[in-house]
Structure 1
Amino acid sequence: MTTLLTDELDPRLLEHRRELTGYCYRMLGSSFDADDAVQETMVRAWRGLGDFEGRSALRSWLYRIATNVCLDQLSGRQRRALPMDLSGQPWRPVEASLAARRPGAAWVEPVLDRMVVAEDADPAEQAVQRESIRLAFVAALQHLPPRQRAVLLLREVLRWRADEVASLLDSTVASVNSALQRARATMAAVGADADSEPLDDDHRALLSRYVDAFERYDVDGLVALLHEDATQHMPPFEMWLRGRDDIGTWMLGPGAGCRGSRVLATTANGAPALAQWRPVPGGGFAPWALHVLEVRDGRVAHISSFLDLDDDLFRRLGLPVEPE
């Protein structure tokens, strides 16, 4: 793939980069793949800009290119998932549960809000953007065939008209409406409408308490912030836990190496999150995990702990390698 420096690109293209990253992330389920897709979109647009005659809006033209890039990437691929999608039964909070592991390409990956949510959008639009990058929603999207996925996102998230989507996909309005109906049915069947709450001051206060307890490794204090039936999974491992007692047991057992960690509060996938650097032998800290917290009724209902086992997650998300 040709790599373009930012200062080589036409400013008109750069204006759309963040929203295209969000679109490609929802399509692909990976912030890493989304970066690559947007880069390829920019390369194709840069090469074709001289022949662009304004027959359609520049934004529509870029979405056409991005959609084709994503469809190419998805061709022949297995869908990405989250550990709880693979097994109906929770695992035991013991070291042996770490035996099953899958490569990074098997999993839905996280994205920081700042990478895909427009800072200058009005609050209502920001809320839509955050809701549509929720992990449950992005994981549910992966059940859709690629073209249905594009139709759903263009119609329901971006609010394009059916005729606009039909033009982008070289299809018909009837075909687009049919694809949308099937996509909605699949999303409902896989639970895409799971409860979620918008970010507000109460969530930020809860995250602050969670960060404080984690840094002190006050497991009792952490467990008190969880729902009784809270769940946690830890990609790239297949295991997942249910119940605050088992989560606490894990933290005091196989997860005890996280004691003494440094953490940083942030937002990811439209939810409170914290980046974690774990202490290493001989001193210092190394990137370890990004924890995304799903909150319900004032407590943490689920923890998605994305482990940075290859020192690549933090770098690709733009997080510092060392805590500040």
Structure 2
Amino acid sequence: MSEREPAVDRDRQEGLLALAAALRPELHRYCARLMGSVIDGEDVVQDTFARAFVALDELCEVPQLRPWLFRIAHNRALDLLRSRAIRVAEPIEAALEIADTKADPVETLMRRQAVQTAVSRFAELPVLQRSVIILKDVLDEPLTEIAALLDITVDAVKGHLARGRARLRQINATAAALPDARIASAAVVCYATLFNQRDWDGLRALLADDVRLHQSLHPPRSGAADVGMFFTIYARSDRVWLTPAWLEGREVIAVFENQTDPKPHHFMRLEWREGRISFICDYRYVSYIAEDAELVLARDAGSFGRGTGR
């Protein structure tokens, strides 16, 4: 970069990203469905903002935030999908064989179907179909902007949209119900019990010396002393209630702001090593994730004062 082309200054960077933070829920809706996981989708969103902040150091002009962030998120998600070797290739040319789609009651129905489809089911679509369906039917993006983001023609977008909608109908028609509730592990039961008893010292005793804490929008913490301060956030309220749960095949903990609430406000997940907590990921500050999460409370959730359900 030449001296005549200064980068966007730091104050402006921070202002831009603060403004862009309002896009986080929408970015997550896209990334979660693209990845087929609300957890992995939030990881992509986090990475998107980290990459955007670094990229601003190299930019001479302020980009249009929305398309710029979506492109970063889209490319990062594709990188991860490729690395897992689960991307299903479909030639773009094949999509051109599909007839044009026009707005009509059937299209309205297709959009409703996409919005109501479980996040995990999108992973069964080829990636281009997946992206087009999410952008058009979930986020209501114009066809021209979808074409620009995916670097394909508008006709190709229409073709992928028609194919994706047809495939999504098949997926929903044959999809199995949510898995039956599973029994919580002894470790998670212990954590939830101590929390609900407000035994903060007991919880701190479970922390490994090198434990790490990740909370979206906040700097990471590490070490038992620093992470131990995490519980003071929840100690301010005597109504927060934890219940073991399962999400996307992973054991998590549903967090209710009030024990009588019908749905959790957010969730957290833990990692253990030799009987002690080595990692805590708390989604308190990005509770929009829970809106799309297919949380299933543990089979023995009744022992925590709640019934089973989503």
Under TM normalisation by the shorter chain, which class is it? 0.3 to 0.5
TM-score, normalised to structure 2, is: 0.46
